């Protein structure tokens, strides 16, 4: 895995640089992720926030605070997105006091020389909330399956 990955929003105004390897990458099928993505699931990679660099010259990055009553963790969650084009960028769960960023891997751009989908650079190792996964979406080969949040000893939930 390359030591640095780059992502951007749909309009290209916001660039995100991810330094170092992620803590883990996973898919989350929970209903909040479905709404957030406008799709069947979110593809996430957790990074230490200190490894996430934001380049936002036009000041388009905007944050929606998900109330704690609505999160699986019981803590508030910051959901960051581009206010110009609406692309989700990353979440910051207050469970970790903002020190971890759950990056949406759909924003990834291919590193120079990388062949294939940019998302192949951060393949999911687990899938969470499979109880909410629609019947037309199949499990990822080799990914650990959790009906809800992963137990504490296993990959943490993307909430």
- Under the rule (CB under 5 A), what is the footprint of Zn ion? 9, 11, 13, 28, 30, 33, 82, 84-85
**1 vs 139, beta carbon nearer Zn ion:** 139
> Burial code of 113-123, b = ≥16 C-beta within 10 A, e = fewer?
eeeeebbebbb
Minimal distance in Å, beta carbon 148 to Zn ion? 10
Minimal distance in Å, beta carbon 151 to Zn ion? 16
Dihedral of CA atoms 21, 26, 30, 36 in degrees, nearest 10, equals 50
Minimal distance in Å, beta carbon 3 to Zn ion? 26
**5 vs 127, beta carbon nearer Zn ion:** 127
**30 vs 150, beta carbon nearer Zn ion:** 30
Structure tokens at 41: 């699931």
Contact 105, 88 (CB under 8 A): no
CA 58 to mean position of chain CA atoms: 23
Cα–Cα distance measured from residue 93 to residue 75, given in angstroms and rounded to the nearest whole number: 7
**116 vs 134, beta carbon nearer Zn ion:** 134
Minimal distance in Å, beta carbon 10 to Zn ion? 5
């Amino acid at each position: 895995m390359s030591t640095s990955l780059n992502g951007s929003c749909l309009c290209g105004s916001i660039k995100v640089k991810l330094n170092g390897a992620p803590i883990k990458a996973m898919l989350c099928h929970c209903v909040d992720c479905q709404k957030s993505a406008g799709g069947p699931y979110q593809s996430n990679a957790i990074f230490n926030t200190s490894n996430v660099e934001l380049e936002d010259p036009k000041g388009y990055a905007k944050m929606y605070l998900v109330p704690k009553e609505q999160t699986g963790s019981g803590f508030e969650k910051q959901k960051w997105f581009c206010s110009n084009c609406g692309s989700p960028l990353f979440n910051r769960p207050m469970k970790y006091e903002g020190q971890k960023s759950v990056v949406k891997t759909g924003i990834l751009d291919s590193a120079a020389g990388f062949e294939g989908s940019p998302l192949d650079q951060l393949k999911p190792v687990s899938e969470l909330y499979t109880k909410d996964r629609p019947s037309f979406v199949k499990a990822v080969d080799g990914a650990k399956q959790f009906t809800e949040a992963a137990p504490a000893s296993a990959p943490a939930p993307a909430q």
